[in-house]
Amino acid sequence: MFYKIFLVFKKDKKLVKKAVIALVVIAALIISFVLDKDQNDNSISVVGNDEICEDESLYYEEDKTIVVDISGAVKNPGIVITLEGTRLYEIFSEVGGLTEDACLDSVNQAAFLQDQQKIYIPNKEEGKNSGIYNCQGPSNSYASLININSASSEALQTLNGVGPVTAQKIIDFRTKNGPFKKIEQLMDVSGIGQKTYDSLKDYITV
């Protein structure tokens, strides 16, 4: 069989040239296909790695919540859910502020909170029993300002003119749109206009 093919090609030299050209074209197509496949595989691998890195970056930057239990000389003792990295003084507004007989001398208001932490704010009588006779009360402005980004419904309702409905609107707004960047954004909440904002601006913070 191969001998017959050889004789055919030997008699027709043009046919030999065509066969050679065909083989060269087929070989070129095969090489091109292999090279393109390798490049596509490499590009897919790189994109996949980039996507994984971006996803991991988003994961680690995501805010983590912590839960603490605060009691003692605060107006509304109980459980507070806040963000990791929050300092003690920042959650006073979430429990309605401190009572008038709170003793802060034995409390580090700048301390970072930890998940599952139990916090107790002593009163002045308890301070005296610990040897502190001139207790610092809740004169710090941070203790009286309500943080509209983290305050509970009960804490928001301590503000003049804010009832359960308005408090829930504030909570719903920050849940949907993210934390307030500045206190003026409170006017973006449905039902809170310039007049209401003016009556609240000296008592709130972000």
Task: Tell me how far apart the terminal alpha carbons of the chain are, to the nearest angstrom.
Answer: 91
CB 83 within 8 A of CB 65: yes
Give me the chain's average pLDDT, please: 77
Domain ranges of the chain: 12-61, 65-205
Write out pLDDT tens, residues 92-103. 888 888 888 888
What is the third-level CATH fold of 65-205? DNA polymerase; domain 1 (1.10.150)
- How many C-beta neighbours within 10 Å does residue 124 have? 20
pLDDT tier at 114, thresholds 50, 70, 90: very high
Residue 144: the pLDDT is 59
The Cα–Cα gap between 156 and 96 comes to 8
CB 75 within 8 A of CB 99: yes
Q: Span 176-201, mean pLDDT?
A: 90
Give CA separation, 88 vs 97, 120, 125, 134, 155, in Å: 12, 11, 22, 21, 16
